[in-house]
Amino acid sequence: MFTYIISYIKKRLNAQFYETPCEELAMSLLGKVLVRRLDDGPIIRGRIVETESYLGHDDAASLSFKGKVTPRNEPMFMKPGTAFVYMTYGMYHCFNISSKGDGASVLLRAVEPLDNLNTMTSLRKQFRKCSKTVMTNKDLCNGPAKLCISFAIDIKSCNKQDLTSWDGMWVEEDENSKLIDTIVCSPRIGIKCEKMWQDKFLRYYIRDNPCVSKIEKTKMNELKYSQIENIK
């Protein structure tokens, strides 16, 4: 097990990766692998397939709009690569990663499960009204709340953790991370604020990936992933 964990940590994305503007980070995270090491030993892995940018001060949809700092959004103002976990609707968690720029962060919306799917399924069933309902693999993490449940991500254990050094969770590169051909850019989901910010194309996902939470048919642009990689 020790060697197994060390091999993952060697692939961990470093601080320089996160020290980048929010929109660029949101696109660059696509295809990377989220790794969660649970307290009782299991390691869960999944490929990031959908993200959203929250730009901070000027972004009316951001929890840090107008630069306001609160106990809830404090991680958005911490060093890039800090985990920001908050509750929505009083019962579900959302997981973000801080980026370059005060109050800016990237929301992870969906992940494609890779390893330890039995553990993910067990965690999800604890939150389902009917635990006997069959759950497909693509439905395990195809939404921000589902992702947090399947990866056991909550405020108590994960908020404010440094993803470049914490051994409980990190993001890594792997041999398939660069095989993405095209990403889709569209407006964010469930945003209620000024129309200008509701309509901004700040959501990104891997085209044709079955684990994306919602596939756009209108209001979308497509970018070659190589264009994003060339920016970095």
Q: What is the pLDDT of residues 138-194, one digit of tens each?
A: 999 999 999 999 999 999 999 999 999 999 999 999 888 777 889 999 999 998 898
Find all residues with CB under 8 Å of 140, minimum gap 6, and list them: 113, 117, 120, 121, 124, 146, 150
E strand or H helix that includes residue 181 = none
Mean pLDDT along residues 115-127: 90
Which SS3 state, helix, strand or coil, does residue 32 take?
coil
Mean pLDDT along residues 91-113: 96
SS3 annotation, 106-130: EEEEEEEEEECHHHHHHHHHCCCCC
More confident position, 134 or 146: 146
Q: What is the model's pLDDT at position 129?
A: 63
Q: How far apart are CA 222 and CA 205, in angstroms?
A: 10
Mean pLDDT along residues 6-16: 77
CA atoms within 13 A on the CB side of 27: 23
Q: What is the model's pLDDT at position 125?
A: 87
Token pair for 176: 């398939």
Which residue type sits at 209?
N
Find all residues with CB under 8 Å of 175, minimum gap 6, and list them: none
Question: What are the DSSP E strand ranges found in the chain?
Answer: 33-37, 43-54, 83-88, 92-98, 105-115, 169-172, 182-187, 201-206, 221-224
Find all residues with CB under 8 Å of 111, minimum gap 6, and list them: 34, 46, 47, 48, 49, 141, 147, 150, 151, 211
Q: Dump pLDDT digits (tens) for 26-75.
A: 999 999 999 999 987 789 999 999 999 999 999 999 999 998 999 999 99
Contact criterion met (CB below 8 Å) for 95 and 153: yes
